[in-house]
Structure 1
Amino acid sequence: MNTMTMPAQYLSFMLGQEMFAIGILAVREILEYAGVTPVPQMPACISGVINLRGTAVPVLDLARRLERASSPISKRTCIIVVEVDSGEGGAFVIGILVDAVNAVLDIPPAEIEPAPSFGAQVRAELLQGIGKVDGRFVLLLNVQHVVAASELAALAEGGALAQAS
């Protein structure tokens, strides 16, 4: 099967009333929200850290990162733990706080449009594209760019980000 016709898999989730998705290959696991430990002097988009099997993992509040108001914590609130390439041959692990995780979607490449350069409610460099699924649009986040903000890069340099093993 040609890779251009093979559907790519994405984990879909809600943030407010909008559906987003990230490539399934970046996802390590999904955790039920059980609170985070605040850490002083972290960037505003970092809620704190969680203990993931003995490792402190920072948690990115995606709503704040996208310059939106954070939603109240509910029983559907989750942390998506992702592995992100550090750009130096290594990788680090970070949690992403979302309102609810939906499902794994198969989105054929033909159903993905490039990110618009204007008019979107999310900065274009943070989007991989826009997928069409059952008549709905799904914003496909480029997790590498969402996490690779300069303030998060500073966390990596300071050793606050857990290295992927």
Structure 2
Amino acid sequence: MTTPSPNPNAALAKAGRYLTFSLGAETYGLPVLNVREIIRLCPITPVPRMPDFIKGVINLRGTVIPVLDLRAKFQMPEAIYGDRACIIVVQLRNATGGSNLIGAIVDTVEEVVQLNDPQLESAPDFGGPPETRFILGLATLSGGVKTLLDPEKVFLTEGLLTLTPPPSAEPKTTDA
């Protein structure tokens, strides 16, 4: 059996602080610099014609932000949200130099960890599935391996921040 080689296209995760969270039995991390806050799971208003992983929007102190379910985004089995489920509000820079907020539903938030270079590895290249473009790197800790996510690739792909609905197959009509 051969082990996967490092992915030459993957950026190595940088040493720093990461917020760790779980989806089922898997543990992930996001750079703390991208985490604005963590809020309790609250009512989410559905938005029609969005991909399944976009659950809708919430009003966060006067700002409407999109919310996605990371389980659905990563094609994991659906689960009932437990008492510890919450929304991680992530802040990302947009093309105009401003910033956008987006919420991500996770099963549990674990802790903030300080990761140093010896603990970090680049994402392996599996030569096909599974999809690794979201992976910034891997962190080896006493509790096991944590997958570090690249927030730009998780949240900025597929037009998430614009929430543009897919084109309709129905012809448009105009009232003259």
TM-score, L = length of structure 2: 0.79
- Residue segments in structure 2 that go unaligned for 5+ positions in a row: 1-13, 166-176
RMSD: 2.1
CA contact (8 A) 2:66 2:161 kept: no
Query: How high is the sequence identity, in percent, across the aligned residues?
Result: 38
Describe the shift of the 1:140–1:120 C-alpha distance in structure 2 as closer, same or farther (beyond 3 A): farther
Q: Which residue of 133, 149, 152 corresponds with 2:157?
A: 149
Q: Alpha-carbon deviations, 1:2-61, whole Å to 9, x = none?
A: xxxx95100000001100010000000000112211111122210111110011111011
Q: Alpha-carbon deviations, 1:68-107, whole Å to 9, x = none?
A: 1232111100100010122332221000000000000111
- 1:155 aligned counterpart, secondary structure: coil
- Residue segments in structure 1 that go unaligned for 5+ positions in a row: 1-5, 158-165
Tell me which residue corresponds to 2:121.
113
Higher mean alpha-carbon deviation, 133-142 vs 82-91, is at: 82-91
Tell me which residue corresponds to 2:37.
29
The answer to whether residue 80 in structure 2 is matched with residue 72 in structure 1 is: yes
The answer to whether residue 68 in structure 2 is matched with residue 60 in structure 1 is: yes
The structure with more radius of gyration = 2
Instruction: Provide the rounded CA distance (Å) in 2 between the counterparts of 1:143 and 1:78.
Output: 17
Instruction: Provide the rounded CA distance (Å) in 2 between the counterparts of 1:57 and 1:122.
Output: 29
CA contact (8 A) 2:82 2:107 kept: yes
